Structure 1
Amino acid sequence: MNAPEPAADCLFCKIVAGDIPAEIVHATDTVVAFRDVNPQAPTHVLVVPRSHYETAADVAHWEPSAAADLVIAAAAVAVKEGLGEGYRLVFNTGPAGGQVVPHAHLHVLGGRALGWPPG
């Protein structure tokens, strides 16, 4: 399958295209990482595939190398952000799972101790 077309009404597709400004902290041919506008930790960066998929499972199914690229980019972000003490990676899936934007995205959270359970 070829990568899907960007969704015309997708906030993250518009950020990837440069149509909506964001503070980009890392970018590759397959992913873009930018600061969350509603941070839940001192460091809160979203890593999104350039291709539009609604969930992480969709990315893994249709473009498995891009799923790996999300995690590789998240690790690069953690290094750039000085999160050597540790960080959390989170995929929210579906409205009941806390996914607000229906474009797969990986949260990189850190900069403070992150308790368990989250939330």
Structure 2
Amino acid sequence: MLKAIIPKLPMRDRTITYNYFVEKLGFKYIGSDEFDHYLIVERDGLQIHFFEFKTLNPKENYGQIYLRTENIDDLYKSILNNNVEIHPNGHLGNKPWNQREFSLLDPDNNLLTFGEDKIK
């Protein structure tokens, strides 16, 4: 029986990725001290794993994840308050597919889209 799905995204620099997700986005660091080339963060029971890819060209990175959320307006405000840059085409808005969404690009150009179902 399946219980969860955990995305694994590329990162060039573990410290930069750590700072972005923990300090800026409010994720909690939950492990991988024994592996310098791996990082695990968690927020609200959702994990994201990162693997080192030093030669990654961010302009050629198509890593992306979609995170379902509740209270998206509050989450968006908290991210803005932490001076996190919103994707140029990803400001908070209602989409025709009945989602309220916004998007970010992490330091390695992984696309993070946060969405909440508009129909409850």
- Common topology (TM > 0.5): no
State which structure, 1 or 2, has the greater radius of gyration over its C-alpha atoms: 2
Between structures 1 and 2, the one with greater strand share = 2
Between structures 1 and 2, the one with greater helix share = 1
Q: What TM-score do the two structures reach when normalised by structure 2?
A: 0.30
Q: What TM-score do the two structures reach when normalised by structure 1?
A: 0.30
